[in-house]
Amino acid sequence: MPNLQHIYLDNNATTRVDDRVLEAMLPYFRDYYANPSSTHIAGLTINEAIENASWQTANLINADAEEIVFTSGATEAINLAIKGLANQNKKHIITIKTEHKAVLETCAFMESIGFEISYLTVNFDGLLDIKLLKEIITDKTLAFIGMFSNNETGVIQNIGEISKILKTKNVLFFCDATQSVGKIPIDVKSLGIDLLALSAHKFYGPKGVGALYISVKAKLKLTPQILGGGQQKKLRSGTLNVTGIIGLGKASEIAVNELEKDRNRISLLRNRLEKGLLQFENSFVNGNIENRIYNTSNICFPGVNSEQLILALGNISVSNGASCSAVTSEPSHVLKAMGLSDEKALSSIRFSLGRFTTDEEIDVAIDRILNLLEKLKT
């Protein structure tokens, strides 16, 4: 009988570390602990393991190992990618209003140092109107920044079509794929992505490690944001987080082998959860239901305060927005950008399932949530 004391449906915030990832990491805490920058045998041995993890991570997105720079996570990767463009001649960047705060706040910083930032709106379903992108690109446009799949709604943008437009205009494409890498197939080469951010803890790896893909073909010369020992081709100084990188590599290897298995099982669970919860009167899914990642469902329950529901659920973990801003009572900027009123945005809940979600947990969650919705509706 599974332990249902804690039902975790907040996998877009973070995921449980896979046991196989943990097992791969443990020796690098206690046995293989040398500094990978050291020139002795012990250090060189660790460096070989880092190179293997670089290959594993690159293979997940069809990149080359030399195109991977390890970071402390997606937020640092995003800062390196965007701030690293500061010395380029062109000074216009385009992004989307529904991006993660890590992108939006870094773009605001770029504005403060003289860049022009264009924030594009989305349709009611969360998808970008491609015409807007075509119309706003000028000869001064340096880069476009866009999520692969949204962290709150799961909506997947038309990355292929966006990339085609950018390439015809010689505009760089930086994709925040934090919520997509390790869940769905991503090929940076065929998609024409120049920069891509990812984070291990979003696909069953450890927290505190991520990576930035930097296309060699794009010949980008990013300005480093962390200076010091000159590690990673001087792009990101500091002693490498060896155990974290080993974990990221292993999580990437597992994902390559189990993408379809995870997708098939989790999508069925998500659909069952969604069908059950939409029995609540006037409830509806936020975002495009055809173009979204398979593990995410963002549902509005009109007349129910999402914060009250989250507190009442107790042992069932869900979210009412991005995990980094979930402590606030402000409506989601993503849902607002999609045209929802404050009231409806504050009545919306994100459910995000994962590799360790079970059938029984979904059944228990549906019954419990429906009962609470009836009690809490105004």
Sign of CA dihedral 35, 40, 44, 46: negative
Element of type H or E holding 274 = helix 242-277
Helices (H), 61-142: 74-83, 101-112, 130-136
- Give the span between the Cα atoms of 296 and 152, in whole angstroms: 8
| DSSP secondary structure string for all residues of 171-231 | -EEEEE-TTTTTTS---HHHHT-SEEEEEGGGTTS-TT-EEEEE-TTTT--PPPSS-SS-T
Half-sphere exposure of 78 (CA within 13 A, CB side): 25
Q: State the residue for tokens 């059950």.
A: 276
Chain length of the chain: 378
Whether the Cβ atoms of residue 213 and residue 68 lie closer than 8 Å to each other: yes
CB atoms within 10 A of CB 109: 14
Long-range contacts of 219-223 (CB under 8 A, 24+ apart): 220/84, 220/172, 220/194, 220/195, 221/87, 222/80, 222/81, 222/84, 222/85, 223/83, 223/84, 223/85, 223/86, 223/87
- Give the span between the Cα atoms of 117 and 95, in whole angstroms: 7
- Give the span between the Cα atoms of 28 and 338, in whole angstroms: 45
Burial class (CB in 10 A: 0-12, 13-18, 19+), 114: exposed
Please indicate whether residue 324 is annotated as part of the active site. yes
CB atoms within 10 A of CB 290: 9
- Give the span between the Cα atoms of 257 and 60, in whole angstroms: 10
Q: Which of 107, 175, 300, 324 is catalytic?
A: 324
DSSP tally for the chain: helices H, then strands E = 13, 12
Q: State the residue for tokens 């264009």.
A: 118
By annotation, the residues acting in catalysis are 324
